[in-house]
A and B are shown apart, each in its own frame.
Chain A
Amino acid sequence: MSFTRRNVVAGFAAAGLAGVAMPAVVTRAYAATPKKGGLLKMWIAEPVMLTGAFNSTGQIYEISGKLFDGLARYDFDLNPKPQLALSWDVSADGKSITFKLRPGVKWHDGKPFTASDVQFSALKVWKELHPRGRSTYRYLADVEVPDALTAIFKFERPSPYVMNSLASVESQILPRHLYEGTDILTNPANLKPIGTGPFKFKEWQRGQYIIFERNPDYWDAPKPYLDGVVMVIIPDAASRAVALEAGELDVAGAIPVPLADAHRLAALPTLEIPVQGSEALAFQAFMELNLRRPYFQDVRVRRAMYHAIDRNFVRKSIYFDFAKAATGPISYENAKFYTADVPQYEFSIAKANALLDEAGMKRQSDGLRFKITHDPLPAGDHFSRTGDYFKQQMAQLGIAVDIRNQDFPTYYRRVYKDYNFDTTSTGAFGLTDPTVGIQRFYWSKNIVPGVAFSNGSGYNSAEADKALEDAQTEVDPAKRAGLFRDFQKIVMTDLPLFPIADARYITIKSKTVMNIEVDPLGAHGSFAEAYLAR
Chain B
Amino acid sequence: MSHYAIFLLRRLAQACVIVVGIVCVNFAVVHLAPGDLAEVMAGQGGGGDAGYVALLRERFGLDQPLWVQFQRYAFNLLRLDLGYSFKDNMPVAALIADKLAATAILMIASLGTAFLLGIGLGTLAAVRQNSLSDVVISLLALIGYATPLFWLGLLLILLFTVKLGWLPSSGMRTIGVPGSGLAGVLDVARHAVMPVLTLTVFYMAVFIRLMRASVLNVASLDFVRTAYAKGMSRRQAYTNHVVGNALLPMITMLGVNAGGILGGSVVVETVFGWPGLGRLTFDAIFARDVNLLLGILFCSSLLVVITNLVTDLVSAWIDPRIEVSA
Contact B45 A57 (CB under 8 A): yes
Contact A246 B162 (CB under 8 A): yes
Interface flag for B127 (CB, 8 Å):
no
CB-defined contacts of B285 to chain A, threshold 8 Å: 407
Count of chain A residues near B, Cβ 8 A: 55
A451 and B41 alpha carbons, distance in the complex (Å):
11
Interface flag for A49 (CB, 8 Å):
yes
Interface flag for B172 (CB, 8 Å):
yes
A-binding segment of B74-82, B228-236, B269-277, B300-308: B269-277
Contact B46 A239 (CB under 8 A): no
Interface flag for B59 (CB, 8 Å):
yes
Interface flag for B48 (CB, 8 Å):
yes
Contact A408 B47 (CB under 8 A): no
**Shortest Cβ distance from residue B100 to the other chain A in the assembled complex, whole angstroms:** 12
Partner of B47, one of A186, A191, A409, A452: A452
Chain B interface size, under 10 / 10 to 19 / 20 to 34 / 35 or more: 35 or more
CB-defined contacts of A46 to chain B, threshold 8 Å: 283
CB-defined contacts of A230 to chain B, threshold 8 Å: 175
Known contacts A132-B46, A239-B154, A451-B48; is A409 also within 8 Å of B33 by CB? yes
CB-defined contacts of B275 to chain A, threshold 8 Å: 205-208, 233
**Shortest Cβ distance from residue A208 to the other chain B in the assembled complex, whole angstroms:** 5
Contact B46 A453 (CB under 8 A): yes
A-binding segment of B5-13, B49-57, B62-70, B118-126: B49-57
A46 and B89 alpha carbons, distance in the complex (Å):
13
Contact A451 B172 (CB under 8 A): no
Interface flag for B110 (CB, 8 Å):
no
Contact A239 B272 (CB under 8 A): yes
**Shortest Cβ distance from residue A456 to the other chain B in the assembled complex, whole angstroms:** 10
CB-defined contacts of A233 to chain B, threshold 8 Å: 171, 273, 275
A408 and B283 alpha carbons, distance in the complex (Å):
11
A413 and B33 alpha carbons, distance in the complex (Å):
11
CB-defined contacts of B170 to chain A, threshold 8 Å: 232, 234, 236, 239, 243, 248
Contact A236 B46 (CB under 8 A): no
A450 and B63 alpha carbons, distance in the complex (Å):
14
Contact B273 A239 (CB under 8 A): yes
Most chain B beta-carbon contacts within 10 A, residue among A55, A230, A407, A417 = A407
Shortest 10 CB-CB contacts between residues of A and residues of B = A409-B35, A207-B275, A131-B48, A452-B43, A453-B47, A131-B45, A56-B45, A234-B273, A57-B44, A236-B270
14 contacts between A and B (CB under 8 A): A41-B175, A135-B49, A191-B89, A206-B95, A232-B171, A233-B275, A238-B154, A239-B157, A248-B168, A409-B286, A409-B288, A412-B35, A417-B39, A451-B52
Contacts beyond the supplied A131-B52, A452-B47: 14 A-B pairs with Cβ under 8 Å? A186-B89, A234-B273, A235-B279, A238-B150, A239-B272, A242-B169, A243-B170, A246-B161, A408-B40, A409-B286, A416-B43, A449-B50, A452-B42, A453-B47
